Structure formats: structure tokens, C-alpha cells
Amino acid sequence: MQLRHFIDTQEFSKKELLNIIELAQRIKKAHQQGYTPELLHGTSLAMIFEEPSTRTRVSFEVAMTQLGGHAIYLKPGEIHLGVRESLYDTAKVLSRMCDAIFARTLKHETITELARYADVPVFNGLTDYNHPTQAVCDVLTMLEHKPTNKRLEDLHITFIGDATNVLSSLMLITTRLGMHFTQVAPKKYQAPPEWIAQAQSNCAESGGTVHLEEDPIKGVQEADFIYTDLWWWVGQEDQIPERRAAFMPKYQVNLDIFNKAPSHCKFMHCLPASRGVEVTNEVMDHPRSIIFDQSENRLHTEKGLLVYFLYPRLKHASMELKAYHRGEIETMINQFDLI
């Protein structure tokens, strides 16, 4: 079968993305009732990290365990991609030993190179450009918490903050699915033209909309979900004073802004959060904050993704074939002169 990777949601149709989300929902329902089918029994996932992680690492490791597989954590600095060994060699070796490769890389080009050379599915666990597993999780969470009288295509999402990798992924998946997306930020920190062009292309096909706004109050007036993220990322530490001055206090998600949204509006954050910076404690811990439901859904999302990409590729031996090979191996062992 055709080898496919999960690097960018733009590589998938609306139907394919909804299929992944529906599969994650079904596996989550089974889990909540005390059963997770071991659909990936005996499989292994190589997990490469160039920076530390909490939710992404834990969700993928636990997902593999509950599905009957095994995850191998390759911590930052343990292997040096493209330094002690070429990306080509790393991809080929891991492809021979593992059923899939996960990578969290500082540069997007690193994971696209891995995917180019790998012979097994590669999962993007976050790069400087995007965070697609988080985006799928976010839509799953929105579906669980949307108003009952609204369809997916009716939902309005307002992201208040910088043009981060999370913004990129959220803007592109929501417009791909026909949803309505608004980024609220100072003009300097709004999404670049190439991201907007992709989102507009999505909207032309899906019926969704994308807007840029500088006024937070205007930006949240129709919001079903308000979402924010950190104002700086790895490598931007020298910009912290400038960024803090640009965003604070106007773009901090506080009760004043939250209360300007419709009364059913929910608050979301991918975490980790800087409490008291991009969002106040009152909003983080508000009854309509769904940040921990969102965080838990990373686990169920990873299960859906892993099963969707790995299960169809597995060889499922018949009971007769299993019995044959076991018998052959046991016969051989019995003939050995063991100590």
C-alpha cells in the first residue's frame, strides 16, 4: 500500500481528516468504557526529540502502550540528526527496526527530510512551522464542546496571539474543514501572507473564512472558542521584551475579553502556558475553560493517528501460520544442546 506520513494537515482532504477524528472518537469511547483494542500489538514507534516535551511525549508513549505496542524515547542530544549520522541513514535504520518514526524537530526541513527517506510512516510532533497532531486534537475537542445547535462548519474560532506553529496548524485545519478562523494580534505578529494564501485557498474549497484583526474585542464577538498560545518560542528569547511590550496588556486573554464573547464561548490553550502573561488565572481556571479536556485528548488523538496510519500496514498472520512458525521454532530449540 502507499506510504503516507503525517507531516502537514494540508496533505489531507476534509474527509480524511474527519475520518481520523472519528476514529479517535471511537477509540476514546471504547477507552472510557474500560477497553482499548490492542490493534498495534507488537509494533514499535521510534520517538526522536530535539527539545523536551510533556504532552506530546506522554500521549504517544501511553497511546502505543494501550494499543499493545511500544515507544522508544530518543531524548534530546541522544542522537544527533545529520551530525554523527546522516538523516538518510537514520531514517533507513529506524525504518528497518521500527514500524513508525515520530520526530519533534527544531526545523521543519528536518522532518520533511526524514519523511523523504523513511520507509515507514513519519509523524510530526512539532516543528518551527507547525504542530499538526495538536491541531487534530483541537478539532476533536471543539466537536465535543460545540453548541448542540451548531455544525462543525458553523463554528467560529478566534486565536489571540503571535503567528506561532500552533496558529499555523489551527488556521489551516479549521479552514480546510470549512470553519471560520480569526487571528487577533498586532499587525507585526499576524500570520504571514503565504499562510493566509493557503488558508484562503482552503476556504474557496470548503466554504470557511479567515480574517486578521487587531482589535481583541471585535475579534471575539462571534467566537465559539477563544484560543491562545505563548508569545515567544525557542530561539526568540532575545525578543521577549519587545514581544511582551507589543502584546501586553491589550492582547492578554483576561475576563474582560472573555466576557465580550458569546456566553457559551470556551477557552482553549495547547499548553504549556505562562499564567499571568498571555492569559490570566481567572480564564485558565474558568468553568468554560476546556484546557485539560483538550490536553487529555492528545492521548486519544495519537491513538487515532497511530491506528489510522499503522494498522492497515501490518501483516496479520492466520492462526494456522502462527502455529506453524511456533512449532518450527520450538522444534529447533529442542534440538539445541542448551546449557
Q: Which of 131, 180, 269, 300 is catalytic?
A: 131
Q: Which of 55, 57, 180, 298 is catalytic?
A: 298
Cα end-to-end distance, the chain, whole Å: 45
Q: Which of 99, 134, 137, 294 is catalytic?
A: 134
Q: Within 10 Å of residue 264's Cβ, how many Cβ atoms? A: 15
Q: Active-site residue 134, yes or no?
A: yes
Nearest Cα residue to 35 out of 48, 47, 26 = 26
Nearest Cα residue to 177 out of 161, 194, 156 = 156
Q: Which three cell numbers stand for residue 199?
A: 488558508
Q: Which of 57, 104, 108, 300 is catalytic?
A: 104
Q: Active-site residue 55, yes or no?
A: no
| Three-class DSSP labels, the chain | CCCCCECCHHHCCHHHHHHHHHHHHHHHHHHHCCCCCCCCCCCEEEEEECCCCCHHHHHHHHHHHHCCCEEEEECECCECECCCECHHHHHHHHHHHCCEEEEECCCHHHHHHHHHHCCCCEEECCCCCCCHHHHHHHHHHHHHHCCCCCCHHHCEEEEECCCCHHHHHHHHHHHHCCCEEEEECCHHHCCCHHHHHHHHHHHHHHCCEEEEECCHHHHCCCCCEEEECCCCCCCCHHHHHHHHHHHCCCCCECHHHHCCCCCCCEEEECCCCCECCCECHHHHCCCCECHHHHHHHHHHHHHHHHHHHHHHHCCCCCHHHHHHHHHHHHHHHHHCCCC
Q: Active-site residue 137, yes or no?
A: no
Q: Active-site residue 243, yes or no?
A: no
Q: Active-site residue 119, yes or no?
A: no
Q: Active-site residue 96, yes or no?
A: no
Q: Which three cell numbers stand for residue 322?
A: 502462527
Report the alpha-carbon distance of residue 176 to residue 112 in Å, rounded: 21
Q: Which of 55, 180, 229, 269 is catalytic?
A: 229
Residues tagged active-site:
104, 131, 134, 229, 270, 298
